[in-house]
Every structure is written in structure tokens, then in C-alpha cells.
């Protein structure tokens, strides 16, 4: 019998699947709607020649029939994902760096105007948001278990704690630094299966009039854009306003605001406070109404999503094979975590895509998880340009295409696969 909180992916063959699925949040029944098979850890890039013992788990997602949270059915142990060598760095995208600078400026102008405010960021990574807070002389702490990322934050002048944010670490922070006026998190809160402990930690640490603000990919956009590759180990939950409201209320908070964001292919920023501390914005009810009409709590919506993923997979593989049969060269662009799902679910191999270019130093010279496609620096992209580039970093299409303008000018074409396979 599986109980909430017991969704370990580790079986004797390391691919064990839970015999039944209960919601990690409410204990309700989770109905599987899509499965992508055996998958590697999405950010576990391998050193060439050292690929033995690669870890795999079974990637499937389901909908909780009770609280409506979309969630994975198996969990990768957190220390295997977030550690010293976790390679992702927010600053590799100039548009995300700008986005977080604006987030920090807005906090400085609105929430942080009182005496000696304190800000905590959960999943601060290389410190790109807190740098602006630090430069303004405001007390802050970034919490992130990935030591390499935390060191990068410290080099930027950000105070960092190498730790998993959860109830115990939050209580220790409160003891040492006092209550936080703002707790912020981006693209991290939904990565944490033990999300209840995080909310208990927020309960420990948040000032009575403080806000917990988090940004995450938005389920409505994922469904609309058929972005099946947004499902991978790190995206344990896929949030919408209804499921988030159910979640935070369960832990004694109130959802007081929601904003839609254009980043990462469509995201939402949620603002949570202690009950009665803030007047809820009308946007919350508006989002809830829209989500009802979009069917975000209906299994049929997700069954269709799974069918869409199969069509994209078949169309993409047909296109890649046809192009190779005609002697065309294809290179991948952006060794994203989500490309692990796209590559390993579709079955893309080095025969089709011999390498992927990426600007992240810690990914270069390594092999993509599962497929073992080599990762090369962006300079390899133009030496020489391929005929086609498969854009795995489609969420950064504008930034990448602007940067690589010469590729298109010299006749190169981009292949995108969301919302449908198309060439530009």
C-alpha cells in the first residue's frame, strides 16, 4: 500500500513503479494520464567514458481527483538532482536575468520599504534575483542545496545557505535572522515533492504581514501549447490557480493575487499571505473562472494532451529522419532539462542530432542524459552552421533567434516542436 509521501522511484531494478498512486498533497486518488517511459535525471549530464550506472526512473503524470493537482507518479531522490554539480544557471538567459532584476526592483518599491526588512529566496541558484536586493543593502538569504550554484551567488555578493528549504531549515533561519517580509521562489516550489514541509517552513518564517510569492510554469499554457516536455523529474507538480489555492489553504494560507507571466512559455506568479492579512485581488476569481472553462480539472483535457504528445513525437521523428535521408545536417540548440523528456521519449539519437550546443559551462563537454548526445559550446554552432537547428530551448526562442540571426541569414532553419512541429 502506498501512502502519501512514499513515491520513491527506486525499485530493485531502479525503475520500479508505485503500485497505486495517492496524491502527495491530499491523499486523494491520482489518475495517470500520460507516461513517457524510462527517463534519466534531466540535469544529470555525464562525463564521456563514465556512463555506467546511469539512474533511470519511470516518468508518468496524473491528475488528483480531489485537489486537482497535476503531479508525477514517481519521485527521484532529491540529493540525486540537486547537489554540488547541478549545472543549471539562471543567468545563462539574459531575458531571465532581466526578469528577475525587475522582480527585485518591484519588491524594493513595494514590500521592502519598512525598517530593516528581510527577504528569503527558495532556490536562489546563482543569485540573479537577490543580487539587486543585496546591491540595495537589504538583508537577505538565498537557500539552495546546489553548492556550485550557491557559490556563484556568493561571488555576486549574495548571502547563501546551502540547504533544502523545508520546515526544519526554515525554523533555523527564523531563529538566526528573524521573520521574513518576503519569501520568494521561482521555478523551484513546484520542484519539491515534500511541498507541505515547505509551506510549514513558510509558516515558521513569514512575518505576520509578509508575503510568499512564487512563479511557476502555468498548466493552462502547458496544455494550450502541448508542451509535453515541461513534464520531467524536476517539475514534480504542474500548478494552476485552483490546485495552488487548494494547496495553500490546506496549510493555513490565503491566495491573494495571481499574475500571468510570459516567461518560460507561460508562467504564473502567485502571492500568498496569512488569512485576512491582505485583501484578495479580483484576479484570483477571474483565473478560477477561466480555468473551469478550460477544463483544467477534467481528465479528458489531459487524455487529449497525452494524445497530442504522441502526434508531436511521430511528426518530429518523421521530419528528422526525412531530413537526414536527404543528407541535411541537424544540430540541437539548448541542452535544457525539458529536452531530456523530448529526446528520450521521441528516441532522438546521435545519428539524427550529433550534438547539442549550450552556453552553460558545466554542460559543455558532457553527454546529454539518456541519449548521450554530446554537448558543445555555442561556438560549435557556426563551425560550420548546420542546415537545421532543433530548438530545445523553445521557451527562449526570441533571445536565441536574435543571438543567432546569422544562422537564418545564411539559410539555416529552426525546427520547433511546440505547439506543433514546424520549421522557420
- Neighbouring-strand partners of residue 374: 367
Letters for 211-250 (x = contact with ligand TMP by CB under 6 A, - = none) are: ----------------------------------------
Q: Closer to ligand TMP by CB, 39 or 360: give it.
A: 360
Residue from 92, 215, 216, 233 in contact with ligand TMP (CB under 6 A)? 92
399 binds ligand TMP (CB under 6 A): yes
What part of residues 129-158 is at the interface with ligand SAM (CB under 6 A)? Answer: 143-146, 149
Q: Which CB sits closer to Zn ion, 23 or 331?
A: 23
Residue with Cβ nearer ligand TMP (238 or 393): 393
Q: Which does 23 bind (CB under 5 to 8 A by kind): Zn ion, ligand SAM, ligand TMP, none?
A: Zn ion
Contact in structure between 394 and 332 (CB atoms under 8 Å): no
Residues 66-95 vs Zn ion: string with x where CB under 5 A?
xx----------------------------
Q: Which residue carries 510568499 as its cell?
A: 212
**Minimum CB distance to ligand SAM, residue 359 (Å):** 14
Residues 24-43 that bind Zn ion (CB under 5 A): 25-26, 28
Give the integer Cα–Cα distance in Å for 232 and 369: 12
Q: What x/- string results for residues 76 through 115 when contact with ligand SAM is judged by CB under 6 A?
A: ------x---x-x-x-----x-------------------
Q: Taking a C-beta distance cutoff of 8 angstroms, is the pair 319, 325 a contact? A: no
Q: Is 359 in the site for ligand TMP (CB under 6 A)?
A: yes
Strand partners, 217: 267
Instruction: Find, among 304, 340, 335, 305, the residue nearest to 57 by Cα.
Output: 340
Q: Is 64 in the site for Zn ion (CB under 5 A)?
A: yes
Q: What's the rounded Cα separation, in Å, for the pair 358 and 381?
A: 9
**Can you read off the three cell numbers belonging to residue 79?**
540529493
Q: Which is nearer to ligand TMP, 24 or 89 (CB)?
A: 89
Q: Tell the smallest beta-carbon distance from residue 184 to ligand SAM (Å).
A: 9
Cβ 122 vs Cβ 170: under 8 Å: no
Binding interface with ligand TMP (CB under 6 A): 92-93, 334-337, 358-360, 363, 393, 395-396, 399-400, 403
Binding interface with Zn ion (CB under 5 A): 23, 25-26, 28, 64, 66-67
Amino acid at each position: 500500500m502506498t501512502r502519501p509521501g512514499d513515491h520513491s522511484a527506486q525499485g530493485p531494478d531502479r525503475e520500479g513503479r508505485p503500485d497505486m498512486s495517492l496524491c502527495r498533497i491530499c491523499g486523494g486518488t491520482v489518475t495517470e494520464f500520460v507516461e513517457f517511459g524510462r527517463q534519466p535525471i534531466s540535469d544529470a549530464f555525464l562525463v564521456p567514458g563514465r556512463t555506467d550506472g546511469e539512474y533511470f526512473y519511470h516518468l508518468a503524470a496524473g491528475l488528483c481527483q480531489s485537489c486537482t493537482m497535476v503531479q508525477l507518479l514517481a519521485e527521484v531522490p532529491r540529493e540525486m538532482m540537486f547537489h554540488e554539480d547541478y549545472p543549471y544557471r539562471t543567468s545563462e538567459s539574459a531575458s531571465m536575468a532581466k526578469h528577475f532584476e525587475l522582480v527585485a526592483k518591484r519588491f524594493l518599491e513595494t514590500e521592502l520599504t519598512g525598517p530593516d526588512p528581510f527577504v528569503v529566496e527558495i532556490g536562489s541558484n546563482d543569485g540573479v534575483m537577490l543580487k539587486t536586493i543585496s546591491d540595495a543593502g537589504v538583508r537577505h538569504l538565498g537557500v539552495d542545496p546546489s553548492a556550485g550554484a550557491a557559490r556563484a551567488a556568493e561571488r555576486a555578493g549574495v548571502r547563501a545557505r546551502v540547504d533544502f528549504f523545508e520546515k526544519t531549515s526554515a525554523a533555523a533561519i527564523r531563529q538566526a535572522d528573524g521573520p521574513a517580509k518576503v519569501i520568494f521562489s521561482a521555478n523551484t516550489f513546484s520542484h519539491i515533492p515534500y511541498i507541505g514541509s515547505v509551506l510549514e517552513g513558510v509558516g515558521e518564517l513569514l512575518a505576520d504581514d509578509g508575503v510568499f510569492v512564487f512563479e511557476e510554469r502555468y498548466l493552462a499554457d502547458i496544455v494550450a501549447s502541448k508542451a509535453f516536455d515541461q513534464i520531467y523529474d524536476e517539475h514534480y507538480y504542474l500548478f494552476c490557480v485552483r490546485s495552488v489555492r487548494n494547496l495553500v489553504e490546506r496549510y493555513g494560507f490565503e491566495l491573494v493575487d495571481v499574475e500571468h507571466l510570459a516567461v518560460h512559455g507561460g508562467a504564473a506568479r502567485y502571492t500568498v499571505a496569512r488569512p485576512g492579512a491582505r485583501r484578495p485581488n479580483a484576479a484570483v476569481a477571474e483565473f478560477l473562472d477561466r480555468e473551469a472553462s478550460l477544463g483544467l480539472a477534467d481528465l479528458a483535457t489531459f487524455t487529449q494532451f497525452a494524445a497530442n504528445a504522441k502526434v508531436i513525437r511521430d511528426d518530429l521523428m518523421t521530419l528528422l529522419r526525412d531530413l537526414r535521408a536527404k543528407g541535411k545536417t541537424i544540430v540541437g540548440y539548448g541542452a535544457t532539462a525539458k529536452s531530456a523528456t523530448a529526446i528520450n521519449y521521441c528516441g532522438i539519437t546521435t545519428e539524427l542530432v550529433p550534438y547539442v550546443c549550450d552556453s552553460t559551462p558545466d554542460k559543455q563537454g558532457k553527454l546529454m542524459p539518456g541519449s548521450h548526445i554530446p554537448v558543445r559550446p555555442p561556438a560549435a554552432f557556426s563551425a560550420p552552421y548546420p542546415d537545421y537547428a532543433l530548438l530545445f530551448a523553445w521557451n527562449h526562442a526570441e533571445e536565441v533567434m536574435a543571438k543567432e540571426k546569422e544562422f537564418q541569414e545564411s539559410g539555416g532553419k529552426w525546427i520547433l516542436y511546440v505547439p506543433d512541429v514546424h520549421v522557420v
